[in-house]
Structures are given as structure tokens and as C-alpha cells.
Structure 1
Amino acid sequence: MDDEMNSMYMNGVWDLVELPHGCKPVGCKWVFKTKCDSSGRIERYKARLVVKGYSKREWIVFKETFSPVSTKDSFRFIITIVAHFDLELH
């Protein structure tokens, strides 16, 4: 968990702000996963901090919610689109 928290801190994943009056924060929880190699031996342990999205209400704006996790396939797809259409990626 410490590695994940340090990574999020170093990458500037969030900004700490004051909660507006009358609002309740959405909770979060840690999700743990064990990664194994092809022979079934434990390769490494992963920890991820996720929001408890089920506690949101329907009328609250969902546009500013995102996940800092991306897959290699997603990244390859984006790079392919950028290269195909000769775009610039920032």
C-alpha cells in the first residue's frame, strides 16, 4: 500500500481540498490482488485504492470521477490512433 500511495503522491493524482458545507465524501477502499507467473508461483502483490461508487446518488455529477489505472492495451491503442492520424499527444 505504501508503494501505491507514494506513486499516486509523486504523480500528482489528486488535490487535497476542503469539503463544501453540507456534502458527504464518497468513501474508498483498498483492493488487493496477487499476481502469479505461468507456473502458479506468486510473482508480486498489488494494491489499488478505489472509490466506493455504489454510494453515489443519481443526481450528482459523475464527470469528474476517473481511474488513474490504465492498461498496456489501452495505451497501445491510443498511440496507434495518434500515429495513424498524425496527431500530437500531450
Structure 2
Amino acid sequence: MFSMGKLKRDPNSVELANKIIEQYQPKSVEDMQEALKDIFGPMFESMLKGEMNHHLGYESNDKGEKETSNRRNGYGKKFVKTTTGEVEIAVPRDRD
């Protein structure tokens, strides 16, 4: 049965949405889509960095002894197609 009661939202999601609205001040749906597109790149890059950390077995800037000779080797540029258009991202590379 459908209830007309208030939706239960995750407070963290509401806080993040409010920060995005405050920062970008969207006036239209297109403005909201541009804000989300702008945020997508850094989020995706952060996930890729986490995968690289897992793949190499150490965090970025870790000065300690490493179990592998493979190392980070800069970034490559890629474009990811999203529902709001193409987004350019920096993809971390390793030597191997």
C-alpha cells in the first residue's frame, strides 16, 4: 500500500545534497545535472585510487618497505560516458 507520509532520507545524503546546492546554486534541472557531472569525476578518480592502493598493496605516499617492485606511474587521461555527457578523469597507472 502506498503511504503519503514523509520519505525517510539518509541524513548524510540530505547533508551532502544541501552542500551541493549551496555550492552550485542550481536554478534548473540542467544546472543540477552539470553539478552532478562536475562531482562525478573526482568521485570516480577516488575509487580508482583506492583500487590502485589495493592492487599494489600500499597507500599512496607510503614510505615504508613494499612487498612489490611495482610502483605508481602517474596518471592517464580518459573520458567516461555518463547520462549527463562525457566526463574527463585522471586514471592512475602503475609500472607493470
Q: TM-score, normalised by structure 1?
A: 0.30
- Using CA pairs under 8 Å that are at least 6 residues apart, name the structure with larger relative contact order, 1 or 2: 2
Q: Rg larger in 1 or in 2?
A: 2
Q: TM-score, normalised by structure 2?
A: 0.29
Q: Which is richer in helix? A: 2
